[in-house]
Amino acid sequence: MSIKQLCFDAHTQLRDQHGIAVRRTHLYELLAALLGFNSHAALAADAVIGQVGQAWKFTSDDLARLSERCLALGYPTAESQRIAETITALAETHRLIAVDVKDLVKLVSGGADGWDVDNEEMPDDVGIVQASPCQDAPDLELDSPLLIDALEQLAAKDHADAHYALALLLQCEPPEERDGHWYRQQLAGRRLDGPEKEWADDYAAALAQFDQYGQHLAAAARLGRSDAALEWAELTGKKADFRHALSLAAPEDAARLLDLADRFGASTTVVPLLRQAALAGDVEAMRRLAEEIEPDPVEAWTWVHLAQLCGTDLTRMEAVYEDGSPADDDLPGNIFAVGGINVPDISVEQQAQSRREAARRYEAIRASER
């Protein structure tokens, strides 16, 4: 299923059942209007049409905007009403919704507290005329063929966010080489059936998915998404990809980049970014600097004291889960020990100096947050 097919169905229905000839390009415009945009071009710039899992009804404002668009395109009042009814019924039957691709990326990556379209960040000529329907939407169907098709069309225009959304949706580990025996037998011309064919087909599907994931991730990295570039460099382990990720990186990427840099003996290239992160309040960056990087013990203790002011005692050993959240005896999961770093002893005077500098940096962090 695709938007093209839906518009074709609407065109056929209006022609055959109601004798109304509507230009197919107008159907795209009218559907965009129903979904909250001034034009299809505005919708297609940074949004895609997907589907939600529950019944979906459009508001009276949506319907009024759709009717106005019909009239603006030159259709008589009576025809405009029939066209609007047909398009609305089609959209509600298929539970259509417009989703900003940046919000989709946040949703898929788990970073969305809500995935509204922020109208204030969009210039007036982009053309969204109301809060997007996704503001109060029920569950978005991430495996919707319609959503995937829309993302692929946008990605074909070198849209970095669309490529990254597809990469996140396809994200997977490469299939184990040892599991590919029957797949290789099939490639060699052996005729398979039963479980052997299923295993071969499953391995082929896993290979294809991993290949698609890599292609979209590489494209998003090439087009300038820093998170995609970092993930791609971690996947390939190539120095050129690391350098590209470093050129795009934000301070919050510093800790991951440092792990990657260790492979190439290039840790020093990440230190300036790590310091930026620490000065912005990133406690993990402070830990890495204090424990691994700073040659001056006074500076190392300054980061320890700054972390303390930010609420974390780096000298204390704590149990955490893989995501860094505190471990709970009542909850399952892999538990790791963090903290408890060793920093060389310094004098009382030097400790006082490091505490003063930590307090100064802490005030700078607080000031930047105001």
Contact 20, 69 (CB under 8 A): no
Q: Where are the alpha helices (DSSP H) in the chain?
A: 3-18, 24-34, 40-46, 60-72, 77-93, 101-109, 145-155, 160-170, 181-187, 194-222, 226-236, 239-248, 254-262, 271-279, 283-288, 297-309, 348-369
What average pLDDT does the chain have?
Answer: 86
Tell me the percentage of the chain whose pLDDT exceeds 70. 89
**Residue among 69, 80, 59 nearest 132 (CA):** 59
Q: What is the pLDDT of residue 114?
A: 44
> Which residues fall within 8 angstroms of residue 208, CB to CB, at 6 or more apart?
none
- For the chain, first and last CA: distance in Å? 48
Q: What is the pLDDT of residue 331?
A: 66
Q: Reduce the DSSP state of residue 237 to 3 states and report it.
A: coil
> Which residues fall within 8 angstroms of residue 316, CB to CB, at 6 or more apart?
339, 340
Q: Is the pLDDT of residue 259 over 60?
A: yes
C-alpha distance from residue 87 to each of 8, 66, 233 (Å): 11, 9, 45
Q: What is the pLDDT of residue 135?
A: 45
Q: Is the pLDDT of residue 134 over 60?
A: no
Q: What is the pLDDT of residue 133?
A: 42
- What are the DSSP calls for 283-309, one per residue? HHHHHHIIIII-SSHHHHHHHHHHHHH
Q: Once rounded to an integer, what is the mean pLDDT over residues 254-265? A: 86
| C-alpha span between 283 and 237 (Å, rounded) | 26
Banded model confidence at residue 29, pLDDT cuts 50, 70, 90: very high
Q: Once rounded to an integer, what is the mean pLDDT over residues 236-262? A: 90
Q: What is the pLDDT of residue 330?
A: 63
Q: Once rounded to an integer, what is the mean pLDDT over residues 316-344? A: 73
Q: Is the pLDDT of residue 363 over 80?
A: yes
Q: Reduce the DSSP state of residue 338 to 3 states and report it.
A: strand
Q: What is the pLDDT of residue 127?
A: 39
> Which residues fall within 8 angstroms of residue 125, CB to CB, at 6 or more apart?
none
| pLDDT tens, position by position, 33-79 | 999 898 899 999 989 999 998 887 888 888 989 999 999 999 898 88
DSSP 175: P
pTM of the model: 0.78
Q: Once rounded to an integer, what is the mean pLDDT over residues 165-187? A: 89
| pLDDT tens, position by position, 276-317 | 999 999 999 999 999 989 999 999 999 999 999 999 998 887
| pLDDT tens, position by position, 334-349 | 777 666 788 899 999 9
Q: What is the pLDDT of residue 131?
A: 35
Q: Once rounded to an integer, what is the mean pLDDT over residues 315-339? A: 71
| pLDDT tens, position by position, 178-219 | 788 888 988 888 898 899 899 988 999 999 999 999 999 999
Q: What is the pLDDT of residue 329?
A: 61
Tell me the percentage of the chain whose pLDDT exceeds 90. 48
Contact 28, 49 (CB under 8 A): no
Q: What is the pLDDT of residue 125?
A: 35
272: number of CA atoms within 13 Å, CB side? 4
Q: Is the pLDDT of residue 174 over 80?
A: yes
Contact 305, 356 (CB under 8 A): no
**Residue among 93, 157, 104, 169 nearest 134 (CA):** 104
Element containing residue 98 per DSSP (H, E): strand 96-100
Q: What is the pLDDT of residue 339?
A: 63
Bigger pLDDT: 95 vs 111: 95
